[in-house]
Structures are given as structure tokens and as C-alpha cells.
Structure 1
């Protein structure tokens, strides 16, 4: 699994209930370690996806795991989109090592995501300049219209019962995240503890438990 050390500007656009809710800009620089095992759910064709299919019963909506390869060739190639705050700070795909890396991930799997749906993928561990660690996620919009103001409860762990997040409330507001165009992908970060980092390093495509529940998203028709 690859690990990043950030020294360039990258926006932590995630507001997580129970954590510090700040849209601060973080200095970051990417330093990849080639000898570490890479678990890249976003870049593999066999990755686990989260579907926005509604459950017929229950108090909220639930995203269920589906096969991203279904109808893969019927969708346009993905486009990487810079977050609103990053763009306002002058960050571009070409000027940021992080975005350049994500561009390579998307180019390796340009048909990623679920047709007529939106999904998220955990990607890489990030070492922040203050010594803390974050987990890099990618949001993919394959809906028929742009989306904004996304909120959901996130569960991530393995099928043996070890959890990194369990029902974590996540909010990606338009003022920080911007509007995600159709057939586009945008990154975001969530802080994790050293113990959670160890759990993530052991997660594979076969044992991952990834769920997005009670979601809400604004469609821009």
C-alpha cells in the first residue's frame, strides 16, 4: 500500500461530526514508497462499489455494494475535478502531485464508478505535515446530473469485525467541495488514528466492509 507525505496545498474539504470541522488548507507533498504493498480499491476493475440503490424498508436510504464492471463501456471516461477550495487557491491537476497521481488512477480505470449512480472509493493513506494520518477517498458521479451538498454515514473496516469508521457522519458541502459534474471524480480526506491505519493496511478486496448509509444529495437538474 502506498503512503503519501503532503507538502503542497490540498484542501481537507470533509466535515465529520465528532471531529474538528474546519475547511483548512493543508500543505502537502507526495512521496510514494515503491516497496510498500498497494491496496488501491479505486484503480482496480475488481474494486468494491457503493450503490445508491434505495432499500425498500428502513428509516433511511442505503448504498449497497454492486459490481462496477456492469455496463462499464456504456459510460464516458471519467474526468478528474479539482475541489472548489483547491481551485480558488490556484491548485491545478498539473501543479499538484496529489491530483496528478489521481489523474493516473483514473486513466488506469476511466470507466470506473456505477452507471446512473454515485459512489466512493478509499484509495491511499496520507501523512500530513503535522504527523497525523488521513485516508484519501474519491467520489465518482455517474448520475445524469451534477450533484452537490452530499451527506452520508460511512462504515469502513473488514469482514472480521475490525472497523475504522462505523456510521461516521460525513458532509461534503458545496462551499468547500463545489459542484461535482456528471462523469467526474473529486477527492476528499478523513483523519484516522495509528490503530486505524494498521487495520486499513490489512484490508483487501476480498475482506473489505464498505458501506454508505442514510445518504442525501442535491441533484442539479
Structure 2
């Protein structure tokens, strides 16, 4: 495979770094330079960085019933859009402690947000959702669950002010919502597109194990 990246971490120089805000998220102000493709080094540029930790998302799937379990909750980032700020999403959560195992987070968040136990867990993709201004990094998994007898219910951790509704939906219905743009958040779009590309292999892998 052809090497894509000519430059790496050592080719960016941080001149100064200031913590501008320290709340639910952190905001840093950076002054930096970087090597240019045409040669030489850039001028000193100012950038703001929203500091967020690593996060995990889990697409919950019952291959026997051909159903997904997905969650709905309000998202403040969509308040100024014509669509509803309540979004249909994957179960998801942040790594609370440095060195925490993402697999442990996947199991914990699935129980907290959906009341379900994961029987098998398969890695999907890892990605930066918005690297132009945020350090957040996502790991996505597909989790095998038993949805027999499971229906819509309310979950979430009260101390974290979570108000989460669980939905159990047919795969075909979810794919239709994806195509229609009803599902409009990056994490869910990426996971569902991965599922469509890898569904047969995933089900064979789970069946074999």
C-alpha cells in the first residue's frame, strides 16, 4: 500500500497552549506552526481546540429477530436546526478514566442506556468526528443482543440527567430511515453503513463462535 502521510506529529510545533475554559468540556487556545507541502513552515496560527476524551458507540443487533435496539435523547447541537433535537442513536458513552477499557465502557453503557447484556462484541471502525476543532475520538462496535420480549422503555442515569428512550426496530425500517435522512447523526450513519457492508460476514462470524 502506498504511504499516504508525508508528515507526522513531530512536524507540528506548539508555540503556546492556554486553557481558556474548564467546564463540562475544556477549551484550549493554541498557537502553532506546521510544515507545508510546498516546503518550509507555516506562519504562527491561532486555533481553539475543544478537548473531549475518547468515546464508545454500540450498534445493538439481534440477528435472530433481525432487529436493532437504538436510543433516543435530546441533543443541544441540533437546537437551531429545523429537525427535532431528539435523535435516534447508538448506545454511547465517554471513557470516564484514563486507561479505561473501551470494551468495558460498551458493556456499561449498554446496560445503563438500554438495560441489555451484550453476548458478543465486534469492533467496527475508529474515527475522529470533527478533527478540525475537537480532540474527540470514537470507537464503534456492533453488539449481539437478545431482543426477544424487549420493547420501548425509559433508561439513563438520573445523576447525569439522562432521559433516554429505547426503541426496538426492524433492520429494514432503520435502513429506510437512514436513506430518508431521518437518522442524521454521524455515529449512527457510520455504524449503519458499516453494518450494510459487513452484515453477512458479521452474522457468519457470530454463528461460528
**TM-score, normalized by the shorter chain, greater than 0.5:** no
Q: Which has a greater percent of helix?
A: 2
TM-score in terms of structure 1 length: 0.25
Q: Which has the higher contact order (CA 8 A, sep 6+)?
A: 1
